[in-house]
Amino acid sequence: ELAAHILRHCVIVEPVASAADLPLTLEVLSKLASRPGAPEPLVALVAEAHSRAKAAAAAAAAGAGAAAPPSKDAGAASVPPDAATAPPPPPPPSRPRDPPAVREQVAGLLDEWSRVRDQGDVAQMQYVVQLQRAGLLKCDAATSRLLRIMAELASLHHTRGESVAASGPAPNGASPPAASFAAVDAFAKLTVLLVKTVGDPSQGGGGTTVGRLACLSRVWNAIGLACAREAEDRPAVFTGKSYMRMYAIWLRELACPDQVLDLSRHEVQALFAQTLLRLNPRQVPGFAYCWLELVSNRTLLPRLLGSPNREGWVLLEQLLCAGLRFLSPHLLRRPLRLRDSVRTLYRGCLRVLLVLLHDFPEFLCGHHAALCDAIPTGCVQMRNLVLSAFPRSMRLPDPFTPNLKVDMLPEIAHAPKVLCDVENIVCRGDGRLKASVDSYLRSRTPASLPTELCRSFFLPPREAAAMQTQHDVPAMNALVLYVGMVGVRAGTGPQVAQSPAIELLRRIAAGLDPEGRYHLLNAAANQLRYPNSHTHYFSCALLSLFLEPGGVESLPEQITRVLLERLIVNRPHPWGLLVTFIELIKNPVYGFWNQAFTRCAPEIERLFESVARSCAGAGAAVGGVGEPLQQARAR
């Protein structure tokens, strides 16, 4: 047990030695692990130690090979004389390590604080003030290093406890002790008292509100830096639980009434959101689960959404988009084979959005554009969940009502709130582009604008490879939404099919390749939401493009695909999506059942029939859907 403990902690948990430094210990443990019935933790420990030893040997061999002089017959004549005599390039800069004496001093301070913490509030405050008067807690750069080292040591204490707990029962059958958060809780309590005494003159502080917020920022940054370093240095054993607990303790403290340190204040919300953005899964992948837990924390989430003037909504949008962008590369791979870790994180994001849909639908209504930009194209159900949100004060009309007159609904006259800067996205740093779009929507000039827009939607090769698409989907989404916002002012009557806005969309669709056309139609379908002027306009726009495809024969089929793939997934389904598809299949003007693609294969025909009957209701037909189905089958 002692040998396994030394190997685990000195080689794997806190690498102060390599496996090559303990050859006899590793040899004995390897023999024990090879015996029948050897404990699984011991077998895993030995395998991990051997793999680290091989990796270290390979790195040493590579370094020796790079440093060895070239052989005489290795093409030395092709090496320029200056290069042969030039000094070797400097090694890449490494992160400086903390001096051992400093870490020992900080460890002593943390141990002493752990003892003082059990002696009551008075002793705790006296100890913190004593540290401040000694110059150790001035909220400067030295304090940041002190707090970072303390956070690392507290996390290491918890990690060691987890390692012991995972090693299995002792030989006498006793269960190992559970991992302790005592050091983590003690450190978090110390940081709380530190920040609170900064602005309390009676306790030796003399700070102001700005000073306390600055100190709070230093504390959170120090914890975040320690988290990022540990995730990079010890990825095999890093879980992030200790750092999540530190931040969770702070959230609990900030929930208590306070003039400055109150989570309802926008300044505090912004500080915490910035901290989480620096630790987002794209920066620290090993912290992804804990990060999502903090974003959806029951203390943080309601206060962000309940902030005055909706200042916290923008912060929450940034956090959610950061998490979705991390998932995007994993969900865009083809063929799609999700690892269990990615699937679990995806389900977590889905549940957070479901909570927002149930309790805060107005947030999803206002920020649907930014969220749809971040959601991968293939995540149809997640996008449906965002687009199904509607204000709690609204009562949705039944989309299956026979002969529903959408244009007569009073809600259709009102435009929805879009809480993103669509115009700046359309400009993309070039004000002339927006001016050209506005000019075309007024007078159909310049005539070359659709071609220029089609070219501008293509991404550079490197960015296209990273995004796994050739097209700038967010820019396309913004343009389609902006065109619709301008087109709504011109009305949605019978003349909408010949309006400059619809003509612009039709010409862009004709100039794009099939993939780009698919993204363009998806951008329009993203606006089929609850009853409002945008939903009605884009419903009319898609139906108009279906009826008059402008020479693109595949356009009706692609429109059907975009609508259908959003309907065949599990609920919820956006109200505008249902209304548009029902109108498409029941109105004989569009000749949906006369399209060849509805009968291209028996499986496709059965799929359309199933979806049509689902939209029509169980065993019933809406507005004559049943008869076209029978006629199509007869043909």
Decide: 168 and 41 in contact? Cβ < 8 Å. Answer: yes
The whole-number pLDDT of residue 176 equals 54
Q: Which of 30-34, 201-205, 617-621 has the highest mean pLDDT?
A: 30-34
Neighbours of 95 (CB within 10 A): 7
In this prediction, residues 403-409 reach a mean pLDDT of 84
Structure tokens at 425: 């996205």
Closest CA to 321 of 396, 249, 376: 376
Q: Which residue did the predictor score with more confidence, 480 or 1? A: 480
78, 85, 608 from 81: Cα distances, Å:
9, 7, 74
132, 159, 182, 243, 301 from 147: Cα distances, Å:
13, 18, 17, 13, 27
Q: Which residue did the predictor score with more confidence, 163 or 112? A: 112
DSSP state of 199: T
11, 34, 108 from 15: Cα distances, Å:
4, 25, 21
SS3 127: helix
Decide: 272 and 220 in contact? Cβ < 8 Å. Answer: yes
Distance of CA 368 to the CA centre of its chain: 15
DSSP state of 497: G
Q: What are the residue boundaries of the structural domains of the chain, listed by start? A: 406-634
Helical ranges in 360-472 per DSSP H: 361-366, 368-374, 380-387, 422-427, 431-443, 449-456, 461-467
Query: How many angstroms separate the first and last alpha carbons of the chain?
Result: 78
Is the per-residue pLDDT at 166 higher than 70? no
Closest CA to 292 of 329, 254, 322: 322
Share of the chain above pLDDT 70, in %: 81
Closest CA to 589 of 555, 619, 623: 623
The whole-number pLDDT of residue 299 equals 92
Percentages of the chain per state (helix, strand, coil), in multiples of 5: 70, 0, 30
Helical pair 23-34 and 40-67, crossing angle rounded to 10 deg? 140
In this prediction, residues 350-365 reach a mean pLDDT of 95
In this prediction, residues 569-586 reach a mean pLDDT of 91
Q: How confident is the model over 115-150, as pLDDT tens digits?
A: 888 888 888 888 888 888 877 777 778 888 999 999
Handedness of CA 491, 497, 500, 504 (dihedral sign): positive
Decide: 561 and 441 in contact? Cβ < 8 Å. Answer: no
Q: How confident is the model over 492-548, as pLDDT tens digits?
A: 666 677 789 999 999 999 999 999 999 999 999 999 999 999 999 999 999 999 998
Burial of 150 (0-12, 13-18, 19+ CB in 10 A): buried
Is the per-residue pLDDT at 14 higher than 80? no
DSSP state of 535: H
Taking every pair of Cα atoms in the chain, the longest distance, rounded to a whole number of angstroms, is 92
DSSP state of 135: T
Is the per-residue pLDDT at 41 higher than 90? no
* CATH entry 3.10.580.10 includes domain 406-634: no
In this prediction, residues 315-329 reach a mean pLDDT of 93
The whole-number pLDDT of residue 296 equals 94
Closest CA to 248 of 200, 327, 301: 301
Q: What is the amino acid identity at position 301?
A: L
Can you give the pTM of this predicted structure?
0.79
CA atoms within 13 A on the CB side of 46: 20
Decide: 51 and 61 in contact? Cβ < 8 Å. Answer: no
Radius of gyration of the chain (CA): 31
Q: How confident is the model over 539-560, as pLDDT tens digits?
A: 999 999 999 888 888 999 999 9
Closest CA to 536 of 486, 577, 589, 573: 577
Is the per-residue pLDDT at 200 higher than 50? yes
Burial of 291 (0-12, 13-18, 19+ CB in 10 A): buried
Average pLDDT, the chain: 81
Closest CA to 295 of 233, 356, 211: 356
**What is the dihedral angle through the alpha carbons of 373, 376, 377, 383, rounded to the nearest 10 degrees?**
-70
Can you tell me the distance from the alpha carbon of 220 to that of 230, in angstroms, rounded to the nearest whole number? Answer: 15
Is the per-residue pLDDT at 635 higher than 50? no
